[in-house]
Chains A and B, each alone.
Chain A
């Protein structure tokens, strides 16, 4: 079955770059997502990447995909205190036509 793994915790200083890593097992994954959860709230989609891409950039966010190693990363440039949250990696075989499997989440702490 599908499995998505992430480290549980990351601490960075304000202004530095953050890199959150994720590995997945399903070679049929087509859509790979990053969601953000702020305290006491539901998850919100940050960005997603198709499996036929190896990079996607959106303002301060850069997503890198290594399909051979089934490794996904999210880089946040110039990390701010407002970026403190839990970040979830997720995958789906075919977007909205299949269920989405989530990782355990990485709690990002930004130190002022």
Chain B
């Protein structure tokens, strides 16, 4: 069965360190997204991609970057982690017709 997987599921890091969250999908979807989930804010879009070599900024992109070198993967990098980036991060992919999003299980990141 097709799926979307995130790793690591849990990570604790220190302020200033670089962190990369991995996202891998086997749906063969062109569209991929990174969201963060925080209490009272719902899901906020960080970055998204409509295909290989395409990346776009979402509403909360500062301090984050992504790259899309193949269809399956969209890694999210925090260049210099800050305590404000403590959150649960969700990767998703979507098919083009209805835009239904298929979500990973989430990565809980704590920045101390």
Residues of A within 8 A of B (CB): 1, 4, 6, 8, 31, 33, 35, 40-45, 48, 88, 92, 94-105
Partner of A95, one of B90, B92, B97, B105: B97
Interfacial chain B residues near A97, Cβ < 8 Å: 96, 99
Partner of B95, one of A1, A4, A96, A105: A96
| A88 & B98 in contact (Cβ 8 Å cutoff) | no
Of B43, B90, B96, B106, which is in contact with the most chain A CB atoms at under 10 Å from its CB? B43
Bound complex: CA A98 to CA B101 (Å) = 12
A-B contact pairs, 21 of them (CB 8 A): A1-B59, A6-B42, A8-B40, A35-B101, A42-B90, A42-B103, A42-B106, A43-B92, A95-B96, A95-B97, A95-B98, A96-B98, A96-B100, A97-B96, A98-B99, A99-B58, A102-B42, A102-B43, A103-B42, A104-B41, A105-B42
| B45 & A96 in contact (Cβ 8 Å cutoff) | no
CB nearest neighbor in B for A6: B42
Partner of B40, one of A4, A101, A104: A104
